[in-house]
Amino acid sequence: MTIGYELYKTIGCPGRGLLEAPCVGPVETKAAAAATLADKLDAKLAEKPADKPAMKPTDSDGDGVVDALDRCPATPAGRKVNAEGCELDSDGDGVVDALDRCPATPAGRKVNAEGCELDGDGDGVVDALDRCPATPAGRTVNAEGCELDGDADGIVDAADQCPGTLAGEPVDDKGCTLPKTLKLEGVNFDNDEDVLHPDSLAILEGVAATLKRYPGFKVEVAGHTDSHGSSAHNLDLSNRRAKAVMDYFIAHGIAADRMSAKGYGETQPIGNNYLEEGRVKNRRVELRTLN
């Protein structure tokens, strides 16, 4: 029983109840109109409500990942992204592939803004592989980032003044073969003094570095004087000068058992003792190789 039928019963033929046949006259017209209205009402109620169109999920940056799931909602157009909407970083160095000039960086390496490994000294060998990370600018280096040393004497080519030294020959800090007797140019003393001048220390530092490169190299530290004063006094003074130099070397890491100190007094002059210039030259210390 429908709502329309109930309405028909109510307004069909007043006072006659449920009709088995149509009303006649004006009452019949009213009943027919009521029936028509009831039919329309039943038809309207039977209509299925139209479904509302479904709303399409928003993808603000157009990367294929909807905003609700996108952890990187402002990805530049055209960039490849992962399932979370973030740009790809294949080597995991923190620089996205689209900006990464070195997309295959090994895991854990430090990189610059372009995704390439750091090279602190700019020698072409990345820091992670560079055994000499402070090479001066412009120097040629090997695969380990260290300067070339063509004759393998321990002095890099850029500083080697004698680049063709024979293998195994001990050399000084300039890369030149050490002579049997090495006069320490610039290591001189004031008259009747055994105290090292401050300007002598840089020279001795270079000699100490040479001795460190050749741990099996043994030397005699030989002290000398001019002819001023007695022979006995000068012999003692020369011994003290030799010991002052030897003590410097010991303080800078040279083993004492590699050296001996000996004074020769005024017996081995290299300058004219009658001239001040000659006497300055004679107040000296030399190194003599013992092996």
- Host domain of residue 186: 179-289
Range 207-212, long-range pairs (CB < 8 A, 24+ positions): 207/172, 207/173, 207/182, 207/249, 207/287, 208/248, 208/249, 208/252, 208/253, 208/254, 209/173, 210/170, 210/171, 210/172, 210/173, 210/178, 211/249, 211/254, 211/258, 212/253, 212/254
In this structure, is residue 130 part of a structural domain?
Answer: no
Q: For 125-158, write each residue's pLDDT tens digit.
A: 998 889 999 999 999 999 999 999 999 998 999 9
Q: For residue 129, tell me if it sits in a domain.
A: no
Q: Count of domains in the chain?
A: 2
**Residue finishing a domain among 46, 62, 78:** 46
Q: Mean pLDDT per 10-residue run, the chain (291 residues)?
A: 53 50 54 64 66 77 84 86 84 87 89 88 91 92 92 91 89 84 80 89 90 87 94 96 96 96 96 94 90 74
* Domain assignment of residue 122, yes or no: no
Q: Is residue 254 part of a domain?
A: yes
93 lies in a domain?
A: no
3-state class of 209 per DSSP?
helix
CATH number at residue 183: 3.30.1330.60
Tens of pLDDT along 10-36? 555 555 544 455 555 555 565 566 667
